[in-house]
Amino acid sequence: MDNSPPMKNPMDDLFGEDSDNDSRSSRSKSSSSGSSSSSSSGSASSSGASSSKGGGGGGGGADSSSSSGSGSSGGGREERGDDDGGGVDSSYRGNDNVESGVYSYEEEEEEDEKDLFGSDNEDYTKTPALSTYSIPVLPAGWSSDNNQGGRGGMGRGRWGNGRGGPGLLPRPGPFPGGRGGRGGRYQSYQRDERFVSELKLSKSKETLSRKSTVFQEPCELTSYSRVEGGEVFYDERGLRLFKRHVSEDIGADLNQGYDTFIEKIDLGSEGFGDLLGSIREKNISLENIHFVTFRNNLNKILGAAYNRHEPWEMGVHKRNGTIYLDVHKLPERPQSDLDRRRCYWGYCFESLATEDPGRAYGEDIHHVDANVEFCSVVKTKLGAHRVLMGAEMDCCDETDEGRRIYIELKTTRELDDRTVERYEREKLLKFWIQSFVAGVPYILVGYRDDGGRLVRIERLRTKDIAHRARLKNYWQGGVCLAFADEVLCWLYGTVKENEDYTLQFVHPFMRLELLQAQSCPDAITNHVHLLQNPSSPPPPQ
């Protein structure tokens, strides 16, 4: 009889070591010695501690976003972050920094405490309190006024000697820049007249890394599909199956079918209405849900823990105790033909990596429609906040046990010695966030050359990405979760019932700002009306 332990299915642990609170870290002398937390991370100008509605944990996933993090739901597939979700309803710790026990060292002997001043301290303690020297007196006629004489009164002393000569050091006061205060870098900043509140990003990464934020594994509640022509069905007809032999397509030209490519249409708040419609169709209660959103918005919030150069904004609308986060797409520069082609390469790779019953073996890709999509609706819990979100899924596969999992498909330029570090610091962070928050265990990356030819394929496990980045000290997933938890606490405690706001993150990227908005999208207004009056059509807008 075989007494060997049963083999563990690698699909079972979607998030790996990051899900554990590694108590080994307590064995590290260095971690225990500096346990006191420094500054308070996000000081909000408006008082308002986060309040939470009662209820059980849920899960969420957000709408697919572009790699810049500012795109609307969906968006181009080239080097972008999409949304994926699904999994069992179980809690785990998302703070990967709790794995610091991996790096714990053997206990070292503490050095004996030594006198901070050494032998000099003995002489110091013997110094008399009163000096034996008399106080010097300036000759008559000399002025101690630094504002008189010569070149502005700056003397040769530390700041000025009162004899009309320039001093060795500048007079204390405003820093160079001519604008006073802390120099001229941020003095031109003008507060928006719609300003309501702000969350200053003052907490250090070290402080955030010591905070363990619970993130519940996303649980799928329902789904919907958008087909060619834009019609929406509350079923799974738009879900594609992963092609396991995709490696056979290495060397394929990702330009095939570009001439018939149908670009994605920006639906604005109408797309949010489809998500809300699926909630009503399934009779999902929002009584204990704090936030309803596409994953795109969570991507932005988590990413802002490290990404301090990409602006974004989103709509914030509180109705019946639930905050609806609406995706806002910022204006973009006009796309060149190369930009559109690179975007298409991502969609073409998705077609190559998924089964298509209508395409014969070896047949080229044709008629790619970026508007066709499948969206999973999931619930999760980040800290004390219950989140329900929609996440676009690229494709799915099945484990040996028959459990369905989602797979994220990405396309990026082939790496070299000059680009690999930036890829791991920035792009892998986006990949990880988009897959992690939706419970996607695997990411398939297609690397292409500058001409759009697929040169290689790599499969990444979501749990391994964070571990890889932590080993190189690039970023920590736990910092992103702790930062997002503070943002959601601030939002929920600040936003008032039946009022509308815009949350923005703009230059100089030192604060999140909450601004008053003038209206609420029709999709949210109609949704709230239909929840309260199911048999009554919404009033005309």
Question: Pick from 415, 262, 448: which is nearest to 345 by CA?
Answer: 448
Tokens of 495: 């936003």
467 touches 96 (CB < 8 A): yes
Give the pLDDT of residue 65. 40
264 touches 74 (CB < 8 A): yes
* pLDDT tens per residue, range 307-354: 999 999 999 999 999 999 999 999 988 999 999 999 999 999 999 999
Residues 325 and 500: their CA atoms lie apart, in Å, by 10
In the predicted structure, residue 263 carries a pLDDT above the cut 90:
yes
Enumerate the β-bridge partners of residue 200. 43, 511
Give the pLDDT of residue 135. 57
Per DSSP, helices labelled H in 165-241 are: 205-209
Tokens of 424: 């791991």
In the predicted structure, residue 103 carries a pLDDT above the cut 70:
no
Give the pLDDT of residue 170. 52
Sign of CA dihedral 380, 381, 386, 387: negative
Residues 393 and 223: their CA atoms lie apart, in Å, by 10
Host H or E run for residue 454: strand 454-461
Q: How far apart are the first and last CA of the chain?
A: 73
* pLDDT tens per residue, range 189-224: 677 889 999 999 999 999 999 999 999 999 999 999
Residues 342 and 328: their CA atoms lie apart, in Å, by 23
More confident residue, 143 or 355: 355
In the predicted structure, residue 143 carries a pLDDT above the cut 70:
no
Per DSSP, helices labelled H in 9-92 are: 29-33
In the predicted structure, residue 19 carries a pLDDT above the cut 50:
no
Per DSSP, helices labelled H in 14-106 are: 29-33
In the predicted structure, residue 183 carries a pLDDT above the cut 60:
no
b/e sequence 40-68, b meaning 16+ C-beta within 10 Å: ebbebeeeeebeeeeeebbbbbbbbbbbb
In the predicted structure, residue 151 carries a pLDDT above the cut 60:
no
Residues 207 and 428: their CA atoms lie apart, in Å, by 23
Pick the most confident of 70-79, 147-156, 457-466: 457-466
Mean pLDDT, residues 69-90: 41
Tokens of 130: 């009163």
Mean pLDDT, residues 247-276: 94
Residues 18 and 477: their CA atoms lie apart, in Å, by 8
In the predicted structure, residue 230 carries a pLDDT above the cut 70:
yes
- Name 89's Cβ contacts closer than 8 Å, sequence gap at least 6: 57, 59, 216, 217, 219
Mean pLDDT, residues 141-164: 47
Question: Pick from 239, 260, 323, 314: which is nearest to 286 by CA?
Answer: 323
> What percentage of the chain reaches a pLDDT higher than 90?
56
In the predicted structure, residue 369 carries a pLDDT above the cut 50:
yes
b/e sequence 224-246, b meaning 16+ C-beta within 10 Å: bbbeeeeebebeeebbbebbeeb
Pick the most confident of 96-100, 109-113, 186-190: 186-190
- pLDDT band at 500, cuts 50/70/90? very high
Look at residue 318 and give its three-state secondary structure.
strand
Whether the predicted model's global pTM rises above the 0.75 cut: no
Q: Going along 114-269, which residue ranges are E strands?
A: 195-201, 214-216, 219-226, 232-233
* Number of CB atoms found within 10 A of residue 472's CB: 10
Mean pLDDT, residues 246-261: 95
* pLDDT tens per residue, range 398-441: 988 989 999 999 999 999 999 999 999 999 999 999 999 999 99
Give the pLDDT of residue 3. 53
Give the pLDDT of residue 131. 52
346 touches 76 (CB < 8 A): yes
In the predicted structure, residue 129 carries a pLDDT above the cut 60:
no
Tokens of 417: 């010695």
76 touches 254 (CB < 8 A): no
In the predicted structure, residue 480 carries a pLDDT above the cut 80:
yes
- Name 223's Cβ contacts closer than 8 Å, sequence gap at least 6: 234, 235, 236, 239, 278, 374, 375, 376, 377
Give the pLDDT of residue 188. 54
- Name 259's Cβ contacts closer than 8 Å, sequence gap at least 6: none
Which amino acid, 340?
R
Angstrom CA distances, 17 to 277, 386, 469, stand at 37, 24, 14
325 touches 276 (CB < 8 A): no
Q: What is the DSSP letter of 23?
A: G
Give the pLDDT of residue 361. 80
218 touches 378 (CB < 8 A): yes
In the predicted structure, residue 286 carries a pLDDT above the cut 90:
yes
Tokens of 111: 């050095």
* pLDDT tens per residue, range 44-64: 444 443 444 444 444 433 343
Question: Pick from 217, 215, 10, 212: which is nearest to 100 by CA?
Answer: 212
If phi > 0 it is left, if psi is from -120 to 50 it is alpha, else beta; for residue 444 that is beta
Give the pLDDT of residue 512. 97
If phi > 0 it is left, if psi is from -120 to 50 it is alpha, else beta; for residue 362 that is left
Mean pLDDT, residues 237-250: 95
Give the pLDDT of residue 175. 47
In the predicted structure, residue 81 carries a pLDDT above the cut 70:
no
> What percentage of the chain reaches a pLDDT higher than 70?
65
Mean pLDDT, residues 499-524: 95
